[in-house]
Amino acid sequence: MPGFELFGDQERNEVNKVLDSGVLMRYGFDGMRQGQWKALELETALARRMESRYAQVVSSGTAALTVALVSAGVGAGDEVIVPVFTFVASFEAVLAIGAVPVLCDIDDTLTLDPGAVEKLITPRTRVIMPVHMCGSMADLKPLKELCEKHGLVLLEDACQAIGGTYDGKPLGSYGDLGCFSFDYVKTITCGEGGALITNNETYKNNADHYSDHGHDHIGTDRGAESHPFLGYNFRISELNAAVGVAQLGRLDDFISIQKKHYSIIREALSSIDGVTFRRVPEAGEENYSFLNFFLPDENLARKAHKALAEAGIDGCFYWYDNNWHYIRKWDHLKNKESLGKLPREVAEQMPDYHTADFSASDHWMGRNISVLIKLGWEEASVKERAGKMATVIKAVLG
């Protein structure tokens, strides 16, 4: 991770096909295209790779989440349960449609704690949104059982975990809807882009129309198309989709490389007393884009993170203090700061997160260090990095 590390002839060839046609928009201009429909090609390949009936590619992972929620009929005043450890896009997508993000504790998977989720379900709850952060997944079976029990939608935010699996199924395909991000720092990239997958034909049709101003895409005359409902512009360009076509074809190779590098570093840290690892659910296999481990307490984790940086070991993250990924620094959300007026439902229903108790999540996040696994490393440099990391952490732990 990320896919841009290994850009090559495959990506250039797909982009040149689009440039040679001169058509950069995914819809219309049929006569000029020379048979090039890259967004459609990416959707077909993605649905096949993710073992789903349908895929819809859009302009970003955030757009994918927004479109997925709306496609399932979620709107103003509906509640969506999301974890306190995620990227801000997860709750931004909820807020964008007037729904209410209900933040929930995580457990040692660094994703939604099913027990904590159940306590937050109300008559207004419509969606449970596990976020498969840093390449690994939530305990999806109990979350799915909760959705079935209460008639809720299970929406997998798999933006950081493409290529992982759960119960033999690709992440994103286990729930009712799954979303991916193809931005510049993801395992596979379009530069900017995203996608949703589903087996539900209604959700697919809604996503297709909503992401293009409500166009129904019936016939070959774009100007004559009907608009069954209001929509917005979340289209991906043919250039971005072309990069994605090439990168998706390389996904399995990327996962294999990540697994090899991940395994070398994990083995080096495994023998250190005081180091434990994030729990990957028994039925799951992560995509190996990050290695996450815990130290005995917050103080030692902070010291180790600082020492790793001082030793010149880059790509080590302490999310507990991060502005984008953990509740502690989300002051804009806590203060409900918005350029425009928030919907009344959001203003009135959203809990006061200044006073919320997320100590159960702090217990895990305060002790966690997350290591980015790069594709471009040589094996010798990975082994050297692993040994250096082990030496630094042992020194911190005494």
What residues act catalytically?
A: 186
Closest CA to 124 of 351, 312, 322: 351
Closest CA to 172 of 208, 143, 131, 111: 131
Q: Report residue 291 as tokens.
A: 């290695």
Q: Is 179 helix (H, G, I), strand (E, B) or coil?
A: strand
Closest CA to 217 of 241, 198, 235: 235
Return phi, psi of residue 42, to 5°: -65, -40
- Using alpha carbons, list the distances in angstroms from residue 398 to 270, 361, 364: 16, 27, 22
Return phi, psi of residue 282, to 5°: -55, -35
Residue 181 contacts residue 194 (beta carbons within 8 Å): yes
Q: Report residue 197 as tokens.
A: 């997958």
